[in-house]
Amino acid sequence: MEGDELVEYTEIMVRYGELSTKGHNKKNFIDRLGANVRKALHRFEQVKVHAQRDRLHVELNGANYDQVMNRLKDVFGIQNFSPSIRVDKTFAATAAAAVKMVQEQVDHPITFKINTRRSDHKFPIDTFEMNDRLGGYLLQKFPDLLKVDVHHPDLTIRVEIRLNGIFLSSETIQGAGGLPVGTAGKGMMMLSGGIDSPVAAYLGMKRGVSMEMVHFFSPPYTSPQALAKAKQLTAKLARYSGSIRFIQVPFAEIQETVKEKVPEGYLMTVQRRMMLRLAAALTMKRHGLAIFNGESLGQVASQTMESMLVINDVTNLPVLRPVLSFDKTEIIALAKQIDTYDLSILPYEDCCTVFTPPSPKTKPNLERTRKYEQRLDIDGLIKRALDGIKITEIHNGEDFLNQNEDVFAELL
């Protein structure tokens, strides 16, 4: 086919997901989704985003529609979208565009139907007449290729008659679903370098939570690569929200002190209580509503219900665990889907693994845990860790691992 015959899409029409059921909150959802789409498309300077009550319209103004659609696929709150072409408000222009669409998409006999919506009721052709006339015109043009089937067509050509033109589309691409990030408030994600926590962060974001990552690092016991890996995982997740704040919390002093003063079987329990205290303090300080983590029930010693009971004892904040009921194989499948798996399995020790005792208690006793903790200056340890935090804003596509290529070369 000649290059000049290709359909030049002029906008992408976006349909909302669940937010269309949200009553008076609907406006906040639409505004937030509009802001998130603008953020996701900020590289395309010519693109204009109009978030309206029933649809969101992305005006391309010459931007590459494949690239724009790839970015839209990662924005939560979008049910699906269709690339559309805008033509003048005449039957002739509409018919000519529909012919191009068929030429571009159809190379063997198929069934089709026309589906018209008319929001400009002054336009002289109503929906039935447009369906009828345009369908008839295309049948006449392509007698060997097209046959009408209004119930289960292979191709649906949608015609929207709006005030500013007639828009035609024929493809519907699935979006990410979920709720727009930021509509459910802010959460603090306890991000290790493992497989589970990035997946849990993704699932929380999919329910509208704006996540900040809390990562504990323990130099000299953990390497700079372990920190770079956690930042790289955050950069992968940032494509769902534009950018994410990464909070690194120094944890070495706490780990050394706990190792020195607490019996081995309770090291893990007390360490995790300290992590949770720090995450809770950051949640309060940064106006979050809940703590998130990647715990999956019964997967390791600290993830039994007895263990959760004892660890959770240090905070009244909700601790939400999106992958709680997933099997490891299900978590791995999701990690691969969101492209965090290969990073997660890089062998850099994080502080969860450095100080792990050979046989941690799977059923720690709460009273005993509290008693061992009395040996620690908890307030002082927490204060010093919080004084040493460092916050970075991480954007989608940033690279943290390859900055240290020479460091890696030495490891190989």
pLDDT above 70: residue 203: yes
Per-residue model confidence (pLDDT) at position 404: 54
Point out the domain boundary residue: 127, 152, 176: 176
Domain match, 257 and 380 both: yes
Residue-wise pLDDT for 145-182, tens only, equals: 999 999 999 999 999 999 999 999 999 999 999 999 99
Domain match, 248 and 169 both: no
Per-residue model confidence (pLDDT) at position 20: 54
112 is in an annotated binding site: no
Q: Tell me, what CATH number does 93's domain have?
A: 3.30.2130.30
Domain match, 107 and 155 both: yes
Kindly report which listed range (38-42, 159-163, 404-408) carries the lowest average pLDDT score: 404-408
Backbone dihedral region for residue 177 (phi beyond 0: left; psi -120 to 50: alpha; all else: beta): left
Domain match, 239 and 376 both: yes
Point out the domain boundary residue: 128, 145, 176: 176
272 is in an annotated binding site: yes
| pLDDT-based confidence at residue 288 (cuts at 50, 70, 90) | very high
Per-residue model confidence (pLDDT) at position 402: 81
Question: Does a structural domain hold residue 250?
Answer: yes
191 is in an annotated binding site: yes
Question: Does a structural domain hold residue 227?
Answer: yes
Domain match, 218 and 171 both: no
The CB density around residue 260, as the number of other CB atoms within 10 Å, is 9
Domain match, 169 and 38 both: yes
294 is in an annotated binding site: yes
Q: Tell me, what CATH number does 376's domain have?
A: 3.40.50.620
Tokens 């039935």 -> residue: 128
Question: Does a structural domain hold residue 88?
Answer: yes
216 is in an annotated binding site: yes
Domain match, 131 and 229 both: no
Question: Does a structural domain hold residue 338?
Answer: yes
Domain match, 319 and 237 both: yes
Domain match, 201 and 151 both: no
188 is in an annotated binding site: no
Question: Does a structural domain hold residue 124?
Answer: yes
Domain match, 166 and 192 both: no
Domain match, 312 and 224 both: yes
**Number of structural domains the chain divides into:** 2
Contacts of 273 (CB under 8 A, 6+ apart): 310, 311, 313, 314, 369, 373
Question: Does a structural domain hold residue 181?
Answer: no
Structural domain of 336: 186-411
Domain match, 190 and 282 both: yes
Question: Does a structural domain hold residue 213?
Answer: yes
Point out the domain boundary residue: 129, 145, 176: 176
190 is in an annotated binding site: yes
Residue-wise pLDDT for 334-380, tens only, equals: 999 999 999 999 987 666 666 677 777 889 999 999 999 999 999 99
pTM: 0.89
